[in-house]
Amino acid sequence: MPSTISGAKVVTDEIENTAGANPYNITLNSEIDTSSGAQSYDVTGIPTGVKRITVLLAGVSLSGSEKFMIQLGTGGSATTSGYLGGADYDSAGGGINLGAGFQTNDWSVGKIGHGAIRFWLQNASNNTWVCDARIKFSNGVEHTRQFAGSVPLSGTLDMLKIKNTGTNTFTAGGIGVQFE
Per residue in 31-67, pLDDT (tens digit) is: 787 777 889 999 998 888 999 999 999 999 999 888 8
Residue 147: pLDDT over 70 = yes
Which pLDDT value is given to residue 17? 46
Q: Alpha-carbon distance 44 to 79, whole Å?
A: 14
Q: What is the pLDDT of residue 78?
A: 97
How long, in residues, is the chain? 180
In the chain, DSSP finds a helix count (H) and a strand count (E) of 0, 15
pLDDT per residue over 109-146, tens digit each? 888 999 999 999 999 999 999 999 999 988 877 778 89
Q: What does the pLDDT average to over 148-162? A: 96
Question: Are 102 and 94 contacting, i.e. CB atoms less than 8 angstroms apart?
Answer: no
pLDDT level of residue 4 (50, 70, 90 thresholds): very low
Set out the domains of the chain in order of their start, with CATH numbers. 27-179 (2.60.120)
pTM for this structure?
0.82
Looking at residue 1, its amino acid is: M
Asked if pLDDT for residue 105 goes beyond 70, the answer is yes
Mean pLDDT of the chain: 83
- Give the per-residue pLDDT at 26: 46
Confidence grade of residue 88 (pLDDT, cut at 50, 70, 90): confident
Beta bridge partners of 29: 178
Q: What is the pLDDT of residue 55?
A: 95
* Rounded-to-integer distance, Cα 81 and Cα 89, Å: 23
